[in-house]
Structure 1
Amino acid sequence: MEKEQLEHSLGHNRRKFLSKVSLGIGSLALGSLLIPDLFKRGGGEDAIMAALPHFAPKAKRVIYLFQNGAPSQFESFDYKPMLNQHIGKELPESIRMGQRLTGMTAGQSSFPLVGSYFGFQQYGEARAWISDLFPHTARIVDDICIVKSMYTEAINHDPALTFFQSGAQVGNRPSMGAWLSYGLGSENNNLPAFCVLLSRGRGNGQGVYSKLWTNGFLDSVHQGVQFSASEDPVLYLKDPKGMRREDRRRMLDKISELNHLNYQAFGDPEITAKIQQYEMAFRMQTAVPEVTDISKEPDSIIKMYGPDCLIPGTYAANCLLARKLSESGVRFVQLYHQGWDQHDNLPTEMAKQAKDVDQASAALIQDLKQRGLLDETLVIWGGEFGRTNYCQGKIQVDNYGRDHHPRSFSIWMAGGGVKPGIVYGETDEFGYNIVENPVHVHDFHATILHLMGIDHERLTYKHLGRRFRLTDVHGHVVKDILV
């Protein structure tokens, strides 16, 4: 009985406190204008989260250029001349070691090796090998860290893509952007902490779904906000025709009062999250048009990113928008560029894909650097797994395909505390197995959180009786690639 009375008293006092805090200012207080952290964290995590960031961060923000569909490492950053010397020869079983295959090549009677149709050159102080498909990336090689030893367990697109975004191969887990929003919040109260941009290339595409930027079991304020290529970058943000801004303000205040009464009655944190979302949408009505307006960008910037940056929804336009969002204080900007699933006709399709992304990706690094933002902005480029060193289907030197390969693949990272101008990790001469410095997806996530000043083992949320984290129960920070 005493316990019940105490809980009732605490609940009653909390309701009185919230009521007085919000009295006279509607939802502005609840919308975190006056008390930003009042509803930032839930689930009884206050003691665990109070110390964030856990140590001085190297990066303040992340821009993740996700190449959806998995670019081939053999036509990008992992040069294997031996494959060209042994085209058509069988992949030795001692190299494959009975690895699980996808349904697309499991029925093949042979696994003929196939080399890259494209040439490679060495660039930069590290003499990194880069494919001729990426001449612009080659020019910034001294600003990036190429990791050639990534690996994952997922062998098909959906679980592999979900794994990279959320640390789990199943759905309904918070994405990385949601975790960072939950842990660190936003630098700009007028923009979301987590924004999502989509583009489609000219190759074979794999779908992307809203579950990839979900908040999962975290409060819904941490879900990624998708920007579109339409006239309205964020849907349903504009006021209805004939509604004045002051009318909108009064309406939100009345809605907030009703929601506050519901919160007093039920104590559901999603009610306060809804109030915050209404308030964010109101503030975004001014902030979003400003940040998406590129009319004031000088000609030198347009030239740097390429003419496609003037076409909304293209990869180049999204890279420029990512810079503007990051510069405005958005904590995590996630780009998805579809079209990298080259099971056949790889030379033709991958050449188109590389042309779509190469110039703008390099321009983003150069743009951030010249603005003094690269040191505090972590930029990541890569897909969900790699590609096989053997051909899928019939071999033609100028027309071949590669199947999924989770055992080794390449990405690159830049800025935000990552060592520039280095190549990390190595694969065997077949490019099939990692022989030096393997980096798992959980290690990748642990390293990103570390650069943001977060101990990945301490960023947790209690749900369904256990504490969850982005790295689950795994992950080691890859300290060798850090400044």
Structure 2
Amino acid sequence: MNPFLHHSTSPLHGFSRREWLQSTSAGFGYLALNALATQRALADVAPPLAPKQPHFPAKAKRVLFLCMDGGPSHVDSFDYKPELAKYAGKAIGKGKVPTGKLMAPVWEFKQRGQSGLWISELFPQIASHADKLCLIRSMKTDVPNHPPAFLQMHCGIPTAPRPSMGAWITYGLGSMNENLPGFVTLSPNPGNGGSANYGSSFLPAIYQGTRIGNGRQPVAQAKISNLAHPQLARPEQRAQLDFVQQLNRAAQQRQPENAAIEGLIESHELAFRMQDALPSVLDIESESDTVKKLYGIGNTTTDDFGRQCLMARRMLEAGVRFVEINHGGWDQHRNLTEDHGKHAAAVDGPIAGLLTDLEGRGLLKDTLVIFAGEFGRTPYAQIDEGRDHNHTGYTTWFAGGGVKPGHSHGETDEFGYESVIDPVHIHDWHATILHLLGLEHTKLTFRHAGRDMRLTEVKGNVVKGILG
């Protein structure tokens, strides 16, 4: 029996005379009483975004994913390979490295911080935080093409949309603010799988990401529709929503197998609450000039990504469980020096400011910050000073959230082409992220199509070497 529809036809059943008089004097009558019945029933049902206990004690409570769309060059940034400079210009078909002219790193590498991590001048400000970073220099994924690799980075498999990592984590842990979504994506790329990268697929729709803006416009121009009703005041809007929800509950009772209806009901309720909460969270103008400068806001080069970073910090601080921010354009088959340099300049300062700010507010210790693209780039040159896709060896990094700081895990070969020591497959990467959040990846499942689905498919091992 649906608790939201099971009530007496008597207007006074279950309600005091005072409640009845208050409701009728407000002009809502039976509708107001139905709303009260709904609220009472909801009090006995845990909302789907309510915080949930992890499988075991967690190191991280929340995730901030810095998504570098297009495949940044690891051999020019975080994977120091002096052999590339030594043999630059020579064609070497060694091992599995295709025959091609090796290309020296464009930016100079230096050892950074007390940890001595090798990081290049492409990211000088991130390099100043070397002692916070945990580099994974032995990443590998299954395909070297953008859409499937991007999809696999987000959803676990390259062949079809599945629930995204943010949706799985929100499903497993809920949110930490009932008035905000559990999962937000800022300025995602409309291509490379599009909405599948922040979708919930077969999970209930309430766990999908809330999109703000897209990668083809500055985030300052992003508009969130319907944050205010153009005609109705809040009480009238609530009454209208209660009536619509009655119809939805009736439809749900007729079609209990239709998960989309439940998702619609929850989304309506969350959207109503978000009208009050979200505008203030996104209002970065309330931040001090000092904080805005820290993030590079107001600087033409860094303003857009800096705004994303600051909005993300405000959302994490307010209780959003998983925030993804995006910067595209890293696909340099030619003109790598100029274009990689341009994209790095846009994100380097804001990310450094973000790490400083998170640490200063005491958030970094239990926030897992992730920096990753869908793959890396080849050690050999392509076309006009560019590099091709490389999925057999590349680098991502973590910070905060229980990882070893100032640490480097795994290695590629001497040219940076293939992972050869402690390789980390994308399934291992996902398993480790879930582990840091207190989730056992083999137990975070959802029954669909006759079997228990999970983010890591049927593979994946936690990379214990990076755990703090």
Which of 392, 396, 421 aligns to 1:411? It is: 396
Moved more, 473-482 or 309-318: 309-318
CA contact (8 A) 1:58 1:416 kept: yes
In the alignment, the residues of structure 1 paired with residue 337 and residue 48 of structure 2 have an alpha-carbon distance, to the nearest angstrom, of 51
Equivalent position of 2:233 in the other structure: 244
Q: Residue 356 of structure 2 aligns with which residue?
A: 366
Alignment of 1:11-410 (within 5 A): 14-15=1-2, 19=6, 24-25=35-36, 27-28=38-39, 34-35=43-44, 37=46, 52-96=53-97, 111-198=100-187, 207=192, 209-228=194-213, 229=219, 233-240=223-230, 242-267=231-256, 268-308=258-298, 314-393=304-383, 400-410=385-395
Superposed CA offset, 1:15-39 (max 9, x none): 2576359954265467x6x345365
The answer on whether the counterparts of 1:302 and 1:309 sit within 8 Å (CA) in structure 2 is no
What is the rounded CA distance, in whole Å, between the counterparts of 1:215 and 1:37 in structure 2?
20
Instruction: Report the secondary structure of 1:411's partner residue.
Output: strand
Shift of 1:260: 1.6
- Shift in Å at residue 313 of structure 1? 8.2
| Contiguous gaps of at least 5 residues in structure 1 | 1-13, 42-49, 99-109, 395-399
The root-mean-square deviation of aligned C-alpha atoms, in Å, is 2.4
How far apart, in 2, do the equivalents of 1:403 and 1:237 lie? Answer: 43
In structure 1, what is the Cα distance between the partners aligned to 2:182 and 2:369?
A: 16
How far apart, CA to CA, are the structure 1 residues paired with 2:303 and 2:2? 45
Q: CA deviation at 1:94?
A: 2.3
Match of 1:427 in 2: 412
Q: Could you tell me how far apart the structure 2 residues matched to 1:443 and 1:283 are?
A: 37
Distance 2:208 2:302 in 1: 23
Find the residue that maps to 2:368 and give its secondary structure.
Answer: strand
How far apart, CA to CA, are the structure 1 residues paired with 2:407 and 2:340?
25
Deviates more, 1:418-427 or 1:225-234: 225-234
Shift of 1:171: 2.6
Q: Deviations over 1:427-481 (max 9, x none)?
A: 2211112232111100000001011111000000111111100000101111111
Of 428, 445, 463, which aligns to 1:443? 428
Separation (CA, whole Å) in 1 of partners of 2:45 and 2:375: 39
Residues 397-430 of structure 1: per-residue CA shift (max 9 Å, x gap): xxx0000001110111001111111111112211
Question: Is contact 2:186-2:308 (8 Å) kept?
Answer: yes
Deviations 1:139-175 (A, max 9, x none): 1111111111111111100000000000010232000
Contact 1:52 1:454 in 2 (8 A): no
Q: Alignment partner of 2:285: what SS? A: coil
Shift of 1:286: 1.1
The letter for the 1-side match of 2:54 is P
Could you tell me which of 439, 442, 460 is aligned with 1:457? Answer: 442
CA distance in 1, matches of 2:266, 2:232: 21
Q: In 1, Cα distance between the equivalents of 2:279 and 2:329? A: 29
- Give the distance between the partners of 2:44 and 2:86, measured in 1 at CA: 65
| Matched AA of 1:335 | I
- How many residues in Structure 1 have an aligned counterpart in Structure 2? 438
The code of the aligned residue for 1:251 comes to: Q
1:310: how far off? 9.5
Inter-CA distance 465–95: structure 2 relative to 1 (3 Å threshold): closer
- Please state whether the residue corresponding to 1:325 is helix, strand or coil: helix
The C-alpha deviation readout for 1:369-409, integer Å capped at 9, x for no partner, is 00001111100001000100001125xxxxx0000001110
Q: Would you say the 8 A contact 1:69–1:206 is kept in 2?
A: no
8 Å CA contact 1:343, 1:392 repeated in 2: yes
Aligned to 1:397: none
Which amino acid counterpart does residue 145 of structure 1 have in structure 2?
C
Q: CA offsets per residue over residues 112-153 of structure 1, 9 Å max, x none? A: 111112111110122111111111111111111111111111
- SS of the residue 2:95 aligns to: helix
Cα distance 1:82–1:474, how it changes in 2: closer, same or farther (>3 A)? same
- Deviations for 1:270-289, whole angstroms, at most 9, x for unmatched residues? 32221111111111111111
Structure 2 equivalent of residue 105 of structure 1: none
* Closer, same or farther: CA 29–154 of 1 in aligned 2, 3 Å: farther
| 8 Å Cα contact 1:159/1:169 also seen in 2 | yes
Q: CA deviation at 1:311?
A: 10
- Cα distance in 1 for partners of 2:160, 2:383 equals 32
Amino acid corresponding to residue 91 of structure 1 in structure 2: I
Residues 247, 475 of structure 1: CA spacing in aligned structure 2 closer, same or farther, 3 A cutoff?
Answer: same
